[in-house]
Amino acid sequence: MLRLLATVALLAASALPAVAQVKIGVIASSTGPVSVVGVQQKNTAALLPKQIGALSVEYIYMDDSSDPTQSTKNVQKMLIEDKVDAIIGPSGSPNAVAVLPFIADAKTPMLAPVGSTAVILPMDDKKRWVFKTTQNDNLVMEAIVAHMKKNGVRTVAYIGTNDPLGESFGKAFKAALAPAGIKLVEDERFARTDTSVTGQTLKIGAASPDAVLIGTAGAATVLPESALVDQGYPGKIYQTHGAATPEFLKIGGKKVEGTFLAASPMLVMSEIGDDVPSQKIARAYIEAYRKLYNIEPGTFGANIYDAGLLLERAIPLAGRQAKPGTPEFRAALRDAIEGTKDLVGAQGVYNMTAQDHSGFDQRSIVMIVVKNGNWSLVK
Amino acid sequence: MNAFVALYLAKDGIANGLVYALLAMSIVLLFSVNRIIFIPQGEFVSFAALTFTLLQDGRTPGTIAFLLALLALHVVVDVISQCRTRLLVPLLMESARKVMIPLGIVVFAYAGSKFDLPLWCKALISIAIVGAMGPLLYRLVYQPIAGASVLVLMIVSMALHFVMVGFGLYMFGPSGQRSAPLVDGSTALMGVPVAGQTFLILAVTLLTIAALYYASRRTLYGKAMLAVAINRSGARLMGISAALAGRLSFMLAASIGAACGVLLAPTTTILYDTGFLLGLKGFVAAILGGLVSFPLSALGAILIGLFESYSAFFASTYKEVIVFSLVIPILLIRSMRMTRREKEEAAEESHAVAFDDVDPKDLQRRRRFRTVIEAGFVMAVLAAPVVLSDYDIALLDYVGLAAIVVLGLVLLTGVAGLTSFSQAAYVGIGAYVTGYLTSAHGLSPWLTLFVVLAVVFVLALLNSLLTVRLSGHYLPLATLAIAIIAYYLFGSLPWTGGQAGMTDIPAISIAGYQLRDPKSFYIGIWVALLLLMLGLRNLLDSRPGRAIRSLRHGTIMAESVGVDTQAFKIASFVLACLTAALAGWLYAHFQRFLNPSPFSFGQGIEYLFMAVIGGAASIGGAVAGAGIVVLGNQWLQAHLPSLIGIEGDFETVVFGVAAVAMLQFLPEGVWPMVLRLLRLDAASPRDVKPARLPMREMPPRGGSILSVSSVHKEFGAVRANRDISLELSAGEILALIGPNGAGKSTLFDVISGVQPPTSGSVTFLGQPSDYSTRALSLRGMGRTFQHVRLIPDMSVLENVALGAHARGRTGLLAAGLRLDRAEEQKLMGEALTQLSRVGLASLADRSAGSLSLGQQRVLEIARALSTAPCLLLLDEPAAGLRHLEKKALAELLLQLRAEGIAIIIVEHDMDFVMNLADRVVVMQFGEKLAEGCPREIQCNPKVIEAYLGGVE
């Protein structure tokens, strides 16, 4: 009997994970309005490296329900209780903005997979702890606006969701429009769960802009587009990378044929030549994700994957200078991430500087068109 | 906008309106049959729509497993609830028989999902699955609390909504789906393309209306439901089970919701949470129909669809604001049309636990124990920053912030009985005002604190002037609308930073030291909380506090002792809003970032949960509730995913289930339960010395007090009073007798100003009555009630002191700051004097609810005497008294008469009346039959015939 107990105890003990040396907090919005983005990111967290160099890594995951206040609570818990060495997340731009003061006070690096540049620009004492692993919203918008301009678009309308996502897309879009000399003639809002957007799309139709940009993510991207198509809107329809999900094609069907969107080259892997450096990593990521979940990831999860790559390069460097779990390690980690040069990720190439904590350039964005129910590269 | 656009919008509005109409009718059905305001109606829509699309993809929808789980739970609950009284095997058999049909649906649906059936088959399967959930949900969630108040049922509905959305996310995932069309093609109507699908929706809506109408008139089950809807207890007497009607109505509502889902799925993208806003709009439509009328609700739904469609065109940013604003004027009109009597019936019944008699020594010991606990709590609060980690303190900061908000709700909902879902909105207003002024204009947070309080004071005052006059369930509905409107405004007004949020809010600094870290903020929050708790405790134990505590028990009694109930309702509302705004101010400078989500209507509901879980009427309950919910939520969020190993919104599910269970098993809340277990729930005794307040000048003996001339009172075709005239002078006792239904109580109501006569007039002390109970009370008319109206959870002495309300002056602020003790001593002294007169002084510290009925009647007389009346109306004061008590009462009344007080007494005990009264008025069939001194009346042949009529 005693031996049995001892065996059980031994088994139980061996089943417990060994105490990890590096602790990373992961915050994603796997529920709530941003969950289209967050679920992929949360799923990707399982693909992050458990061992970096000689150091084992533990990931502590929390959902913030898309609520910035919950993000700040999560961040506080991770910083104070778990004493994490770095944080990956949160999914939403406002969420990342909300946690800034806490990150800065705790002097802990954060890798934010968010679009808004507001988390890293203008660079200051608070933001020096934040790195961004997603194409800047303005990069996406610049690519879209450039494509519009090239195709003779003079007037546009914007329709976005009345949530943080739609709002930050709208902001970035308007900022990109001014220098290009394109005029915004309508600016409409709808709710993610609306069952009809006819009022908004009729108004857009009445203003007859040359193009319309739809600013939201996931399934909600389809409704305004199909309403516009049903009303016989003749102009071009653009989407952001928020539409770069399989369900956009599935739900949209024939109605989204011909849609333009700016997104990561990951979406059109087969058409990209070897000249795009990120291709190999993207393939590896997609493969790993599919193996685990049986579906293909959108581009949002890749932001987390890239955050993992950045850490994979920076942690060994920081590990040489200090022990994980100390303020010195966190400072060294920050410095190491800031020093990242020519790191190829799934979405593009990272070159960080003290001023640019995003490190992406235009290579990370391509224009894509929906052709025959599939993504196709605009050449 | 041209004609084409206008037509197109109209078409779209009507198409959406039809769906709202179906939902609105289900909501009306559920409300009229079960009194349940069913918020989750929209969830049936998304459940069915997504089940439908999953079936089309050839997958097995999670709803089948969900239905199976409900079935299993049903059997378990059946067994647990009856296993003590019955044998297990027959019980299981019966329970299994009840779930046969849904079980069949599960098997059929599961088999169906494996084959490629035609589209309409899949549609029917989806409707069957969701439709079968309805009765099961009723059995599990509502049946155990079928007798609860509308409010409790509504809160349970909110909880169920959270549970269903949480499961929805788990079953369907966050992404949306769209179905293949059920009907292809479209036709042009006046140039506007109309999809075939729209005609299908129209047909289903019309069919549903017709079917509901037919069923309620012609079928047995339909008639049964109608009977329950009209009169619950009457239906029970007829052998119609309310539970059966409940299950039926839920099956219908769920099926109608499911049909909506199947019809909508091809026209738009459906997400797991699409249903909520749909349901809310159906709900607004149901309100437009007064929650009773099917056709009016359907019309209201079309109206909302049109409104929505046009406002989406003109101002899409403010669309929801516009739609939900529709509710307020409608509710106002509705409430104005309610008569006063209805209002009184709508008042919440109290289920206060009366505390028992305890000996004074034990009370002393308990009081000491209580003081120790309170001191311990304060010490623990102060010691926390030294002992606990930074993270725990940060959590306690959130607990403290929430507790401040909930404290306001304790006053408003728990004590005053007014439910508000808009607390979170007022937190938001406070936070945004200070956030904007400090970040955009660089004002000091200390300055903005006053601005915040001033702004919220004005807004809350306006809001309460509009809504507090709404009674019953209309007030919560109005506050729900306000909460929704405020949330959308926070997200769309130009200066709030919109959904992206407001940044750069400075921290509060005290003498140059910035409160940035959780620990320094902790002190600010908890000191504020402790002070507020103290202030609220002081307030509740004071003259205005007793008035607020009386509000929950209907307004007539409070008005009869001169309480301005309207003013105190408004005051409670404004106070609750101000505490919320204070929490908002603290929150803004603690978080230093604002976005709309912490101020959403969901959060408003969560605050109510906190109050209910903690114990809505107890101050300690605010902290207990906030602590349980905030810490519990955080713990669940951190540990639940690893506990159950799957992702989802499970903390909301656990939370919703816990709230439902809580309301089913522990309606009083956690904190009162703890107090009861520790035997600390008794009122603390007071040291009171008898005293007298200055008396009013009594009219001269023999002078006219009351004159009733030719009063008619009609209720529709019923004439309750016909041509009644009476005279009464000071120091006279007039008895009003007559068989039941003679119109005595109606006459009492007319005299005491509860309702005006149809014609005729009443003159009191030489001036015409203005038929306001309160004004008459202030002029010297005191009364008791046939059905005793006391505040059972207040002590006997406090109940009597409430009577002296109009003779004191202490305001809310003075009461909160404890500046009222001198006057309080006098009020209590007066109360004790009156209590001694009626012979109840020895019971002063007992709870009023623990007295015998006879003692309660006498207590009412003492309360009426505390108003210093010159006319006393007594409605059956001797009923339930024993012989000696009756004798004492008669002596008391004679003594009052000697003091010059005039008394009208309605009484059935003839010996009592005839020995006491100076004059007797006999009423029959609403008319005055005879009048005279007792001796004359006893010999009057008409009276003898009326009482003994039909002997010969």
Characterize A296-315 residue by residue with b for buried, 16 or more Cβ atoms within 10 angstroms of its Cβ, and e for exposed: ebbbbbbbbbbbbbbbbbbb
Answer whether A105 sits within 8 Å of B517, measured CB to CB. Answer: yes
DSSP at A221: G
For the residues B684-705, what does the mean pLDDT come to? Answer: 79
Which residues of chain B make contact with A230, given a CB cutoff of 8 A?
193
Nearest CA in chain A to B652: A65
What is chain A's percent helix, strand, coil content, to nearest 5? 50, 20, 30
Judging contacts by C-beta atoms under 8 Å, the chain A residues touching residue B264 are: 195
The pLDDT of residue A186 is 92
Instruction: Tell me the mean pLDDT in the region B469-498.
Output: 84
State the smallest CA–CA distance between residue A335 and chain B in angstroms.
Answer: 25
Angstroms from A299 CA to nearest CA on chain B = 15
Q: Closest Cα partner for A140 from A342, A360, A370? A: A360
Q: In this complex, do A198 and B12 lie within 8 Å of one another by their Cβ atoms? A: yes
Question: Which of B19, B518, B647 shows the shortest C-beta gap to A30?
Answer: B647
For CA atoms B333, B334, B337, B339, the dihedral sign is: negative
Residue B683 has pLDDT above 50, yes or no: yes
A95-99, A182-186, B199-203, B686-690: segment of lowest average pLDDT? B686-690
- Report pLDDT digits (tens) over B530-571: 999 999 999 999 999 999 999 988 788 999 999 999 899 999
CB contact under 8 A, A189 and B503: no
Is the Cβ of A20 closer than 8 Å to some Cβ of chain B?
no
Q: Is B595 on the interface with A (CB under 8 A)?
A: yes
Tell me: the pLDDT tens digits for B359-399?
667 777 777 888 888 899 999 988 888 888 888 898 899 99
* Residues of B in Cβ contact (< 8 Å) with A30: 174, 647
| Architecture of domain A19-135+281-359 in this structure | 3-Layer(aba) Sandwich (3.40)
pLDDT value at position B350? 43
B790 in the Ramachandran plot: left (φ > 0), alpha (ψ -120 to 50) or beta? beta
Distance from CA of B515 to the nearest CA of A (A): 13
What's the N-to-C CA distance of chain A in angstroms? Answer: 73
State the pTM of this model: 0.88
- Residue B420 backbone zone (phi > 0: left; psi -120 to 50: alpha; other: beta): beta
Give the side-chain half-sphere CA count within 13 A for B639: 7
Q: What residues form DSSP beta bridges with B239?
A: none
Task: Flag whether the ipTM exceeds 0.85.
Answer: no
Interface of A with B in 99-118 (CB under 8 A): 100-101, 105, 116
- The answer to whether B169 contacts chain A (CB < 8 Å) is yes
Chain A residue numbers with beta carbons less than 8 Å from the beta carbon of B270 are: 195
The fold of the A137-263 domain, in CATH, is: Rossmann fold (3.40.50)
Are A279 and A363 in contact by the 8 Å Cβ rule? The answer is: no
Would the pLDDT of B343 be above 50? no
| CB spacing of B598 vs A67 below 8 angstroms | yes
Which residues in chain A show pLDDT less than 70?
A: 1-20, 273-275, 361-363
**Touching check for B1 and chain A: CB below 8 Å?**
yes
Cβ distance of B174 and A31 shorter than 8 Å: yes
- Say if residues B123 and B262 touch (Cβ distance below 8 Å): yes
What confidence score (pLDDT) does residue B534 get? Answer: 94
Q: Which amino acid is at B854?
A: G
Query: Please, which residues have CB within 8 angstroms of residue A296's CB and are 6 or more apart in sequence?
Result: A246, A286, A289, A290
Which candidate in A37, A58, A72, A73 is best for mutational testing of the B interface (most B CBs within 10 A)? Answer: A73
Q: Which of B273, B317, B389 sits opposite A81 (nearest CB)?
A: B389
Chain A 111-150, CB below 8 Å of chain B: which residues? 116
Of B502, B504, B484, nearest to B432 (Cα)? B502
Q: Given this model, what pLDDT does residue B240 score?
A: 75
pLDDT of B406 higher than 90: yes
Two structure tokens written together for B588? 């803004």
Query: What are the residue boundaries of the structural domains of chain A, listed by start?
Result: 19-135+281-359, 137-263
> What amino acid is encoded at B553 in this protein?
H
β-partners of residue A370 are A375
What pLDDT does B341 receive? Answer: 42
8 Å CB contact between A301 and A316: no
Q: What are phi and psi of B756, to 5 degrees?
A: -75, 155
Is A255 near chain B, with CB under 8 Å?
A: no
B349: pLDDT strictly greater than 60 = no
CB of A151 closer than 8 Å to CB of A161: no
Average pLDDT, integer, range B725-744: 88
Q: Does B645 touch chain A (CB under 8 A)?
A: no
Residues of B numbered 365-424 whose beta carbons fall under 8 angstroms of chain A's beta carbons: which are they? 389-391, 394-395, 398
- Provide the mean pLDDT of chain B: 86
Nearest CB to A200; choose among B15, B316, B492: B316
Contact A195 B492 (CB under 8 A): no
DSSP string over A180-199? HT-EEEEEEEE-TT-S--HH
Task: Determine the distance in angstroms separating the CA of B573 from the nearest CA of chain A, rounded to an integer.
Answer: 27
Q: Of B122-131, B592-601, B651-660, where does the model show the most confidence?
A: B122-131
| Spatial separation of the C-alpha atoms in residues B392 and B933, rounded to whole Å | 78
Counted across chains A and B, CB pairs separated by less than 8 A come out at 185
CB atoms within 10 A of CB B603: 24
Which residue in the set B9, B273, B390 is minimally distant from A80, CB to CB?
A: B390
For position A274, what pLDDT does the model report?
67
Q: What is the CA radius of gyration of chain B?
A: 31
Of B9, B517, B638, which is closest to A198 when you measure between CB atoms? Answer: B9
**B149-158, B373-382, B918-927: least confident range:** B149-158
- CA distance to B479, B480, B600, per residue, from B325 (Å): 11, 11, 16
pLDDT tens per residue across span B236-281: 777 777 888 889 899 999 999 999 999 999 888 898 888 988 998 9
Domain A19-135+281-359 shares a fold with domain A137-263: yes
- DSSP 8-state assignment for residue B693: P
* A367 Cβ neighbours under 8 A, 6+ residues apart: A143, A144, A147, A260, A261, A262, A377, A378
Please tell me which residue of chain B has the smallest CA distance to A252: B178
Residues of chain B with C-beta less than 8 angstroms from the C-beta of A193? 271, 273-274, 276-278
**In A, residues 293-322, which contact B (CB 8 Å cutoff)?**
none
Q: Residue A77's pLDDT is what?
A: 85
Which pLDDT does position B642 carry in this prediction? 62
CA dihedral B574, B575, B580, B585 (to 10 degrees): 100
Of B499, B859, B832, B564, residue with least CA distance to B686: B832
Nearest residue in A to B649, CA atom: A31
Which residue in the block uniquely carries the two structure tokens 């003898």? B944
CA distance, residue A59 to nearest chain B CA (Å)? 13
A199 contact residues in B (CB cutoff 8 A): 9, 12, 308-314, 316, 319
Return the ∠ at Cα A255 (arms to A249 and A256), rounded to 5°. Answer: 50
Whether B925 shows a pLDDT value over 90: the answer reads: no
> In angstroms, rounded to a whole number, what is the distance separating the alpha carbons of residues B188 and B612?
54
**Cα-based distances in Å from B808 to A257, B179, B863, B897:** 78, 69, 15, 26
Residues of chain A contacting residue B193, judged by C-beta atoms under 8 Å apart: 230
**Which residue's structure tokens are 């069915």?**
B48
Among B388-392, B434-438, B940-944, the range with the most confident prediction by mean pLDDT is B434-438
Least trusted range by pLDDT, from A333-342, B459-468, B619-628: B459-468
Model confidence band, residue B344 (pLDDT cutoffs 50, 70, 90): very low
Is the per-residue pLDDT at B424 higher than 50?
A: yes
Residue of chain B whose alpha carbon sits nearest to that of A76: B391
- Which single residue is written with the structure tokens 């209201």? B300
Q: What is the pLDDT of residue B20?
A: 94
Of B647 and B100, the structure prediction assigns the larger pLDDT to B100
- CB-CB under 8 Å, B273 with A171: no
Residue showing tokens 């509740």 = B540
